[in-house]
Amino acid sequence: MNTSNLLKVITAGILTASVAMQAQAHRAWMLPSSTVLSGDAPYVTFDAAISNTLFFPDHVAMNLATVKAYGPQGNAVELLNAAKGKYRSTFDIQLNDEGTYKIATSGGGLRARWEDEDGKRKMWPRRGQTAQESEFDTAVPKDAKKLQVSRGYRRVETFVTLGAPSDKVFTPTNQGIEMIPQTHPNDLYASEAATFTLLIEGEPAKGATIEIIPDGVRYRNQQNEIKLTANEKGEFEVTWPAAGRYFLEAEYEDNKVALPATKRTGSYAATLEVLPM
């Protein structure tokens, strides 16, 4: 192969890889500086972003307005030193009580997609905005072409524990999609199996698809993802191949929804840390 053809092949390979990476949906995540702690009222710092590359802030900072922290008894915990930059937001929480804390952001509602008379794609609400359902009839044309209306709920979480783990923060709210761990998320070890349950409106999210990706995507050519499907009880099991941080993402869809929606969707994401044996 001559030099010219070789350069073409290399360029094509680079472009293909670039397109493949760009095709990945932006992922929202919160990354704690530590997940298992001891001591007297320690602090944990969090990075929060929506990025193209997992755990690498390269797209947009997460809006902290909807981020909430919950203490071991389900009590609200204040976000400290909150700041929003161009590519990531940061905040601290202080762990004053022993047990497990949940840090989460969630929301949902109606969403509509359609095409206008010129074939251009339209959506309501616009990306990054929250829908006011009372506006649906005026915001979405009654004769919209290729109209798709869904009712969805999205949740992003992570967990940290001071001292002995506790489980009160995992009490389901029966709102949208939720993960209820059977194996505590701050008690995960390499080569050991962990079991989790996914719920949608309090019922098993059977058939939900799960993708688990280890940290370090920026420094390898493959995602090395683990793909799973929830069983009839909404359960799934994963054996962690190595210690490190992992991004868990689950998607669910069915048609058990009231009009004007014809589809119900759920999206869940969590950052987990797996410890060495």
Decide if pLDDT at 15 tops 70.
no
Cis geometry, peptide bond prior to residue 204 (ω within 30 degrees of 0): no
Residues 70-77+97-109+148-274: name the CATH superfamily: Immunoglobulins (2.60.40.10)
Given pLDDT bands bounded at 50, 70 and 90, which one contains residue 4?
very low
Q: Are 254 and 206 in contact (CB under 8 A)?
A: no
Given pLDDT bands bounded at 50, 70 and 90, which one contains residue 137?
confident
Structure confidence at residue 142 (pLDDT): 83
Give strand pairing partners of 94. Answer: 43
For residue range 27-51, what is the model confidence (pLDDT) as tens digits?
Answer: 999 999 999 999 999 999 999 999 9
Given pLDDT bands bounded at 50, 70 and 90, which one contains residue 25?
low
For residue range 65-76, what is the model confidence (pLDDT) as tens digits?
Answer: 999 999 999 999
Q: Which residues of 128-147 are buried (b: 16+ CB within 10 A; e: fewer)?
A: eeebeeeebeeebeeebeeb
Q: Are 51 and 61 in contact (CB under 8 A)?
A: no
Q: Any idea what the Cα angle at residue 150 is, between residues 145 and 153, rounded to 5°?
A: 150
Decide if pLDDT at 231 tops 90.
yes
Decide if pLDDT at 122 tops 60.
yes
What backbone phi and psi angles, to 5 degrees, belong to 244?
140, -175
The domain locations on the chain are: 70-77+97-109+148-274
CA distance 96 to 80: 13
pTM for the complete prediction?
0.86
Q: Are 26 and 52 in contact (CB under 8 A)?
A: yes
What's the whole-number average pLDDT of the chain?
Answer: 90
Q: Are 78 and 239 in contact (CB under 8 A)?
A: no
Tokens of 274: 């797996």
Decide if pLDDT at 136 tops 70.
yes
Could you tell me which residues come within 8 angstroms of residue 93 by beta carbon, excluding any fewer than 6 positions away? 43, 44, 46, 69, 77, 78, 79, 80, 101, 103, 160
Query: How would DSSP label each residue in 3-32?
Result: HHHHHHHHHHHHHHHHHHHHHSPPEEEEEE
For residue range 154-178, what is the model confidence (pLDDT) as tens digits?
Answer: 999 999 999 999 999 999 999 999 9
